[in-house]
Amino acid sequence: MKTKENILVLGLRSYVSLAFMVFLFFAFIASILTALSKSIDRLLVNIILNIFALMMTGAALLLIASVIYALYIYNKSIINQKLLYPLSSSFKMLLNIIVALSMFLKYNKDSIRHFYIHMNNIIVRSCNRKFAPQNILLLLPHCIQNSECKYRVTNHIENCRKCGSCVIKSIVELKERTGIKVEVATGGTSALNAVQNNKPELVIAVACERDLTGGISEVRGIPVLGVLNDRPYGPCKNTSVDIGMIQKYLHDFTDYDKTSV
């Protein structure tokens, strides 16, 4: 059985190997363009080819810098704030390319997504910001509720009767203690609508690897912390979440200390 740590290491290795493939591609294209520019006498064509060759070379160098940066923050678990924006932006863009590439090359997509979420969380934590609890949105998947419960909490978590048959009870109590906003979404579009309607300053999103990476990529201008759900009965049914992890993030990002339930 693979532990989360093993999956994370596998994701790191897959990321590095796929990034190296992309680097070779950029370097190959740059060399082809350079060779073509030398074999053609027309000045305008030469200029255009050289510009594209420089762009490919720059992309290859940026790729190497992003990989070195990724290895550094993976080991240190923190980012220098002076380098936070430029490097994190290029790194997240590269990760999106790597995740897409993994689908075609039959790599373990979830391990790469796991790595993506882990690195994204390091980037968000490195901002060292504090938020008012009411400006934090905890976003949950609908599968986190007991599938046999007749009191559906999608879009209305207050419907929970606190029977304790699923983790929703603890989340409602956490909401009451801290004052955070909580939404239960039925899918990606519903989750994005919840973000747009609540206008939070920070999102803590609970979901599987696929939905989290998609959500983190689509939400613009708002930091998103990803928390992987537990799936004891398989995907999309009676899932759960580590409440302690959510409490830890609330402790780190707010001045509210009494978050234990």
Same domain flag for 179 and 222: yes
Residues 172, 106 share a domain:
no
Tokens standing for residue 115: 């790595």
Q: What is the extent of the structural domain holding 104?
A: 4-125
| pLDDT tens series, the chain, 261 aa | 456 677 778 888 888 888 888 888 888 888 888 888 888 877 787 888 888 888 888 888 877 877 787 787 777 776 666 666 666 666 677 777 777 787 777 788 888 888 889 988 988 888 888 999 999 999 999 999 999 999 999 878 989 999 999 999 999 999 999 999 999 998 888 999 999 999 999 999 999 999 998 888 888 889 999 999 999 888 889 999 999 999 999 999 987 665 444
Say yes or no: 193 and 218 in one domain: yes
- Cα–Cα dist 4/198, whole Å: 32
Q: Are 194 and 103 found together in one domain?
A: no
Same domain, 19 and 43: yes
pTM above 0.85, yes or no: no
Per-residue pLDDT at 260: 46
What is the pLDDT, as a whole number, of residue 106? 76
3-state secondary structure of 261: coil
One domain for residues 163 and 91: no
* Euclidean distance between CA atoms 88 and 94, whole angstroms: 10
Other beta carbons within 10 angstroms of residue 79's beta carbon come to 22
The last residue of one of the domains, among 101, 125, 149, is: 125
Structural domain includes residue 137: yes
Are 213 and 99 in contact by the 8 Å Cβ rule? The answer is yes
249 and 138 part of one domain:
yes
Buried b (16+ CB within 10 A) or exposed e, 1-27: eeeeeebbbbbbebbeebbeebbeebb
In a domain, 171, yes or no: yes
Instruction: Give the CATH number of the domain where residue 218 resides.
Output: 3.40.50
Name the 3-class secondary structure at 3: coil
Residue 209: inside a domain, yes or no? yes
Q: Are residues 20 and 83 in the same domain?
A: yes
Determine the Cα angle at 134 with ends 132 and 136, to 5°: 80
Residues 100 and 49 in one domain: yes
Q: Which of 125, 142, 175 is the last residue of a domain?
A: 125
